[in-house]
Amino acid sequence: MGGAGVRGWARWIGAALAVAALAAGAEGPAGDLDQYTSAAVSQWKEPGLAIAVVKDGRMVFARGYGVRRLGRAAAVDEDTVFAIGSLTKAFTAASAAMLVDEGKLDWDGRVIDFLPGFRMYDPWVTREMRLRDLMCHRSGLPAYGGDLMVFGSTYGREELLRRVRYLKPASSFRSKFAYSNLMFLAAGEVVEAAAGVRWDDFVAQRIFAPLGMSRSNTSVTKLAGEGDVAYPNGYIGGESREVERRNADNIGPAGSINSTARDMARWMMLQLGRGQYDGRRLFSEKTSREMWEVQTPRPVEGADAPLFNGYGLGWGVSEYRGRKMLSHAGGLAGMTSFIALLPEEKLGVVVLTNGELPVAPAVARRAMDAYLGAPPRDWSGEALKRFQAREKAEAREWSEVLRKHAAAGAGPAEDAARYAGTYRSEALGDVEVKAAGAGLEVRLAPLPRAVGKAERWAEETYLIRWANAAWPETFLTFEREAGGGVAGARMRLAREADESLDFPDYEFKKVER
């Protein structure tokens, strides 16, 4: 148990027994939360979910619901391993905080002083980028810019950072919030340079080990042989279906950690303890405050908008029922998660799922309300109604697009073979286009499984339907030279989808061979 000793072991046993009693149907907040969560999982038809709540320095509730794998009987419990996605970012920030405490890093130190080969599109931004900038999403890159070249690609960490220099900014440096996984990868590389060990090893040795997070790791390759592990499920065609487990090692510091509800309870206790856990200090109160301060403002909007909203260092910073809240969502293909801390109340909630439906934040809010003594609100039911309404609206919109297209037609037939060839983006890599009957076959070279069939949609534009059913239809538009030849191509999503499918951020030039 992370070297906690006999007293630590006894405390753990006591907490486990208390949790078991609460989860078995006790009255009060735990009883309400247990019933509510069970009903929410059923209503959403989410495959599986695990939740943990910490209050006043101890874990007061933890339980699993649903199954680890669709079609199998094995149930989720508080020790089931899930991918936590972007909840990883706070671990990278905490790693940097430890090195700041040791004088090996400075929040405002220049990135190129630790990563001499680091380059942004703008040389001035390259010179001015600081460690702080990497972790608060104000780089000037498009939101989720570069994600397409990350997930499922053959590129390793070093190659991904090399390609950042080709991503054009969408705004001026430090002017607005735009989420960036690549900048957190760079932050992890800075941690490596300062610590002299790999980010993965630093997190394992300096965070997992002292907290006793014995079932947590930084790579899916370490799940081999593990029994109590959740399998990912994408939301495809109106239902959850098992999908291939995604290896996120190449973007590790931004999202590769796998963990459990019980292990994440320890992590929340460390955070709520301002860097101290079980009498041991991992980082200082000063650096804790730094991570929890708003660094980049975010819009305040929506019916339930908080009084303030921003992003700190690895944490969203906002307000919930008049209290400061630290939170973050996470998502990889087939798994989503949510964590929330209310420091004034010494209250924390984490929800891990092996599906892509937005049930985790709703369950987390119900949990916070239960332990705050707030009037019960059906967060899950409200979210489900919005989700179903949005699904219907999107289906209607797409049906209307297809109807209008069918009425207008694609125009006169043409020889699709004239578009065949290799198209190159310096950032993403090559797209191979081949004639396939009256249409085209499209392959994204850096993503071995990104293959699609394209049919003519309109003049110079084709509609790609990808072999991966989780990917939405995508428009491929070719660009002509003055002399009539094909100069290049652009892609854009034909319908609303995951923002990480950032096709519009890349410009492809035809390669002459």
Looking up residue 423, the CATH number of its domain turns out to be 2.40.128.50
In a shared domain, residues 314 and 394: no
Predicted pLDDT of residue 29: 87
Out of 408, 425, 452, a domain closes at 408
pLDDT tens across 79-106, in order?
999 999 999 999 999 999 999 999 999 9
Residue closest to 491 by CA, chosen among 459, 453, 463, 452: 463
Which residue intervals of 73-232 are DSSP H helices?
A: 88-101, 123-128, 131-134, 157-163, 181-195, 199-203, 209-211
In a shared domain, residues 166 and 274: yes
pLDDT tens across 441-471, in order?
999 999 999 999 999 999 899 999 999 999 9
- Per-chain mean pLDDT for the chain: 93
In a shared domain, residues 280 and 268: yes
In a shared domain, residues 340 and 479: no
Radius of gyration of the chain measured on its C-alpha atoms: 24
In a shared domain, residues 478 and 364: no
Asked if residue 2 has pLDDT above 80, the reply is: no
Out of 360, 387, 408, a domain closes at 408
Length of the chain: 513
Cα(339)–Cα(353) distance, integer angstroms: 12
The average pLDDT across 12-26 equals 39
Asked if residue 26 has pLDDT above 60, the reply is: no
Out of 377, 399, 427, a domain closes at 377
In a shared domain, residues 115 and 169: yes
Residue closest to 329 by CA, chosen among 47, 94, 91, 88: 88
Cα(349)–Cα(364) distance, integer angstroms: 6
CA 382-384-386 angle, to 5 degrees, is: 70
Q: How many CA atoms lie within 13 A of 313 on its CB side?
A: 24
In a shared domain, residues 346 and 399: no
pLDDT tens across 358-417, in order?
999 999 999 999 999 999 999 999 999 999 999 999 999 999 999 999 998 888 888 899
In a shared domain, residues 366 and 385: no
In a shared domain, residues 372 and 462: no
204: CATH? 3.40.710.10
In a shared domain, residues 480 and 498: yes
In a shared domain, residues 224 and 348: yes
Answer for the pair 202, 210: CB distance below 8 angstroms, yes or no. no
Tell me which H or E stretch contains 3: none
In a shared domain, residues 240 and 317: yes
Q: Give the 3-state secondary structure of residue 62.
A: strand
Instruction: Tell me phi and psi for residue 369, to 5 degrees.
Output: -60, -40
Cα(251)–Cα(459) distance, integer angstroms: 38
Predicted pLDDT of residue 27: 57
Domain of 382, in residue numbers: 378-408
Instruction: Tell me phi and psi for residue 349, to 5 degrees.
Output: -135, 135
When pLDDT is cut at 50, 70 and 90, the band that residue 513 belongs to is: low
Instruction: Tell me phi and psi for residue 285, to 5 degrees.
Output: -60, -35
The average pLDDT across 27-33 equals 82
Letter for the amino acid at 289?
A: R
Cα(271)–Cα(274) distance, integer angstroms: 5
Asked if residue 17 has pLDDT above 90, the reply is: no
Predicted pLDDT of residue 303: 74
Q: What distances in angstroms separate CA 127 from CA 54, 109, 130, 173, 288, one per listed residue? A: 42, 11, 9, 12, 27
How many domains are contained in the chain?
A: 3
Q: What distances in angstroms separate CA 218 from CA 252, 253, 484, one per listed residue? A: 7, 9, 51
